[in-house]
Amino acid sequence: MGFPGTWMTESESMVYRVVPKCACSTIGQIMYYSDHGQFFDGDIHDADDGMHKWAFENSQDAISQNVRNHSSYTFTCVRNPYTRILSSFFDKICGIQRNGKRYRGNLVPTLIYNYGIEVGGDDGKGEFDQIASFRRFLLFARDTIRWRRPMDPDIHWSAMSGHVSTFIVNGGRYDRIFWTEAFNDGMQGVLDHLDTPHSVDLKGIPRFNESEGHGPKRAHPVEDYFDDLSMHLVYEIYKQDFELFKYDFENPANKMPIGEIDLDEVHAKLGD
């Protein structure tokens, strides 16, 4: 299986396991900058050189050897499950992607037909009942994760613990897992352990939110999207994410964690 979703700087100063919708664009650009002294011109997900990625066949040996020997400081970043699934909906379902098309071709028409959702028209900019459509999308997301129907779960809404676990199961170990909601503190905690070719001043680093502007703006507070049934569905899908990464299931309005992540617990529970 190897280490899917793993990025490593060319200098091998750090190893990062990508978790979609968890500041991965900003983290990737920081990694790129730390090696080259400049940011990648474009979406870092499109960079096909200047960084090792597991998706590149010629990077796999270097990543495998580094991870199995734990040669570099290794980390990942997680996010509140409530805001993450909302972000996935507005970006991937309602939004027009950077190629000018809908995400995954016929996915959105299928959702409109089978689940009755609305997405703001052809350009994703029209008004629609965001709360009703999101709750119907949540049913679809649950169906993909629980029963793999009508399709396999997408990486943008599959559980974070699933992404994090493949790295552990295949022989990797994390030195740090931090929260998107406390990004500067978490990323600084990583940088403090590194010796990089170019120093990184986090205060001067822009946020590379590549999904921003793809779709409609969220019109309501986070908690308005989640009634009792929606919260039940979210817990069914993301129970382990709430527990391992210490987020508040009881209160969708609270995006901040309510405890400290226990790395030993994460490795024990996700390493089976």
Domain boundaries, the chain: 1-96+155-216+238-272
Q: What is the DSSP letter of 177?
A: E
CA dihedral (228, 94, 140, 55) positive or negative: negative
Q: Please tell me the predicted confidence (pLDDT) of residue 129.
A: 95
| Percent of the residues in the chain that have a pLDDT greater than 90, as a whole number | 83
Nearest residue to 4 (alpha-carbon basis) of 153, 152, 149, 169: 169
Q: Is 102 helix (H, G, I), strand (E, B) or coil?
A: strand
Q: Are 23 and 180 in contact (CB under 8 A)?
A: yes
For the chain, the average pLDDT equals 94
Question: Would you say residue 272 has pLDDT above 80?
Answer: no
pLDDT confidence of 132, banded at 50, 70, 90?
Answer: very high
pLDDT confidence of 214, banded at 50, 70, 90?
Answer: low
pLDDT confidence of 268, banded at 50, 70, 90?
Answer: very high
Mark residue 75 as left, alpha or beta (left: phi above 0; alpha: psi -120 to 50; beta: remaining).
Answer: beta
Burial class (CB in 10 A: 0-12, 13-18, 19+), 206: exposed
Question: Would you say residue 82 has pLDDT above 80?
Answer: yes
Cα(218)–Cα(161) distance, rounded to whole angstroms?
Answer: 26
Mean pLDDT of 35-50: 95
pLDDT confidence of 34, banded at 50, 70, 90?
Answer: very high
Q: Which residues contact 195 (CB under 8 A, 6 or more apart)?
A: 13
